[in-house]
Amino acid sequence: MADEKPPRSVPGGGHEESSVDPSPLADARYTPPARPNTKRRRNIVILIVVLLVIVGGVFLWRYLSSYESTDDAQADVHLYPVSARISGYVIKVNVDDNQWVEKGALLVEIDPKDYEVAVAQAQANLANAVATAQSLNITVPITSVNSSSQLESTASDIENTKAGVIAAQRQLTAAHAQLEQVEANDVKVQDDLRRYKQLVDKKEVAEQIYDQALAAARSSTAAVAAAHANESAAQQFVEQALSRQVQADANHRYAETGPQQVSSSQARARAAVADVEQKRALLEQAQLNLDYTKIVAPVSGEVNKTVVVGLNVQAGQQLLTVVPLDEVWVTANFKETQLKHMQVGQKADIHIDSTGRTLKGHVDSIAGATGPLFSLLPPENATGNYVKIVQRIPVKIVLEPGENHERQLRPGMNVVPDVYLK
């Protein structure tokens, strides 16, 4: 039977008769010997468990050493303050708080009437300056030609006046000689008249001869007077010729300043051109100011506004803030002991506390100094009271494209980044 036990060996050889003891006490006292296969299996299981623990520990150590993590991290972004570039009266606000706007969207409108008037005035001033510049540019060649011709003309006038002076002086010389001649003749005629007078008084000559002598004397006197007049006229001609020569010399000296006059005309033309450029710049500034009455979004993002219709704003006054949620990154402040193997480009998982989601990213850059050095009052360890504290260095982690498409990661949120070192 299968339930029967095999006979036991007894001392002295032989076998003990097999018997079945139905008593329970007999079963409690009997302990069968341990089998060798069971002990071997138990040892193998223990060895396998030890090996699994060792291998798991190795893998766990390798996993834990393959990344660095910190809970001192938050989402960051560059906030874009939108301010007025001109002063004016706000007539329209086209956005509400927390509204999403695209880049270039019209946010605020300032009353443009004053700036439209300024543009019109600047346009008129520019037109006037352009007309003046054109007039002076036309005058420059005319002045150049006039100065050249005037110089030639005055040079010719000098020659003519010199010739006139010489001719007048010759006429004066001739008149003087003629005066001397008639004066000599008058002396002879007057002497003859006195002699004839004496002879007439003595009745030695006829009165007719005396009358002829008297007429000749009167004619001679008139000739002398005419000669004096001719000499005086010739003297005046000489003085007039000399005066014309002086005038011609003055005109010539003035004509010699022609190049300076041309230069002056050119300088006035250049000044007019510069004035045109100045007026054009003022017009451009007026047009820019008119454009600045419409304030647009510098980037795409959500708006936080402080401006309302009816507000009189000043240049530089902040009106809105645009938060570009598509450009959010993570600033993680890792301990300096965690940066031994951290490098730019390493992958990172970013766990968001608010949603529980995990976003993908990578290390963009590591700050050049620890965070406290950028504070207003950085620590000074040279006082003698030095206590070594593990410093933290900001690490910038950027998200992979499309990770934050739902814009759930917002600036200021707490996150926990894991940077994989291998």
DSSP characters over 262-326: HHHHHHHHHHHHHHHHHHHHHHHHHHHHHHTTEEE-SSSEEEEE---TT-EE-TT-EEEEEE-GG
Q: What is the mean pLDDT of residues 67-82?
A: 93
Name the percent of the chain in helix, strand, coil, to the closest 5: 50, 20, 30
pLDDT tens-digit readout, 274-314: 999 999 999 999 999 999 999 999 999 999 999 999 999 99
Specify the range with the lowest mean pLDDT, choosing from 74-88, 116-130, 234-248, 394-408: 234-248
Q: Give dist(CA 104, CA 111) in Å, integer.
A: 19
Query: Ramachandran region of residue 78, left (φ > 0), alpha (ψ -120 to 50) or beta?
Result: beta
Alpha-helical runs (H) found in 78-203: 113-201
Band the pLDDT of 165: cuts 50, 70, 90: confident
pLDDT value of position 33: 55
pLDDT value of position 10: 42
**Domain extents in the chain:** 67-77+325-420, 81-112+291-321, 115-283
CATH topology (fold) of 81-112+291-321: OB fold (Dihydrolipoamide Acetyltransferase, E2P) (2.40.50)
CATH topology (fold) of 67-77+325-420: Elongation Factor Tu (Ef-tu); domain 3 (2.40.30)
Q: What is the mean pLDDT of residues 337-354?
A: 92
Q: Is the pLDDT of residue 214 over 80?
A: no
Model confidence, pTM: 0.59
Q: What is the mean pLDDT of residues 83-94?
A: 95
pLDDT value of position 17: 44
Instruction: Confirm whether 67-77+325-420 and 81-112+291-321 share one CATH topology.
Output: no
pLDDT value of position 29: 53
